[in-house]
Chains A and B, each alone.
Chain A
Amino acid sequence: MNENFDREKACACLAETVAAVFADMAFIDAVTLAESIAAEPAAEPAAATESAPASSRPGPSSEVLERCALDVLKPVSCRLELALSPGLHRKIVEILLGESDVKGGADDSILEMLNVIAGGFLTSYFGLGVEIKLELPRYLFLEDESGGDIVCSADFDAEGERLSAILRSIRYRY
């Protein structure tokens, strides 16, 4: 199967899945910022998160977001990324683990949510019965660790905190 996504469908599935997983797993309302859903080829995440009007974007714009990614190998070669504020990360850890410190074993809470989002998105987009193969989720620490063309992205207001989801098409794997 090739990696030519139906961008509008991918965007809708991505936004719905992220909101559902944040609600079901972390009991956090992640409201899609309608102006931010990008179904056209978009620039890199910094520009994508700037697409929503400043007045509707939560959190300070100078905040450094935490980023994680999960590579999908089948049925298409792509990558799902989440970018979230440190405040949102802390909130999730407190809710899921009852801890106030995100260090140590609490760090994989976001990775686990990304894992569930990936499965939910792929099932939502491709339907049941399709072979799915995922890599393990990981944090991104370097600016240039992301790669691939952005298929779609969506920004969310997660109870006053910033959250973005990005789907990239990865054409070549060696």
Chain B
Amino acid sequence: MRAYSKALIVDDSSTSRMILQRCIDMAGIPVGEYLFAENGLEALNILLSGRQVDIVITDINMPKMDGQTFVRLVKGKTETSGIPIVVVSSIAEASVEEELKALGVAFVVKKPVSPQKMLGALGGEA
């Protein structure tokens, strides 16, 4: 199973951030350190600050900068384009999912999340 030294969780809901972390831990996925952001803008600043994040888990519907815009910016910058991204959303809209995957998003997980869903999205082979 793949291990992550730093995972960045992006969601405006503190409850959702906590649930995501808990589900990842319950799935047995090794994560060295969790970083958190409340919106895409905050998350982008974390990524551009030089911190070596090796997986991003992000919501879509957020204030200031939504998840779609955040993904486009991350994938459009040379220094961050290689970071794998998993999108977690309450809405399962096919066209949005297609766009996100075309941008390079690894998985789109529909809320409510579960350890099983997070294992499927993050727990692949190293």
B15 at the A interface (CB under 8 A):
yes
A131: B residues at CB distance < 8 A: 93, 95
Chain A contact residues: helix, strand, loop or mixed: helix
B19 at the A interface (CB under 8 A):
yes
Given known A-B contacts A108-B13, A111-B13, A115-B13, A123 and B92 have beta carbons under 8 A apart: yes
Shortest distance in angstroms between B88's beta carbon and chain A's nearest beta carbon? Answer: 11
Is B15 a contact of A119 with CB atoms below 8 Å? no
A130: B residues at CB distance < 8 A: 93
Given the complex of chains A and B, what is the CA–CA distance between A109 and B93 in angstroms?
24
Provide a sorted-by-A list of 13 A–B residue pairs whose CB atoms are within 8 angstroms. Answer: A24-B114, A96-B18, A105-B14, A112-B19, A115-B13, A115-B90, A116-B111, A119-B89, A119-B110, A129-B93, A134-B61, A134-B91, A136-B61
A119-B92, A136-B12 are known contacts; what are 11 more A-B pairs with Cβ within 8 Å?
Answer: A24-B114, A25-B112, A96-B19, A105-B14, A108-B13, A108-B16, A111-B15, A116-B90, A119-B91, A120-B90, A129-B94
Residues of B in contact with A (beta carbons under 8 Å apart): 12-16, 18-19, 61, 63, 89-95, 110-112, 114
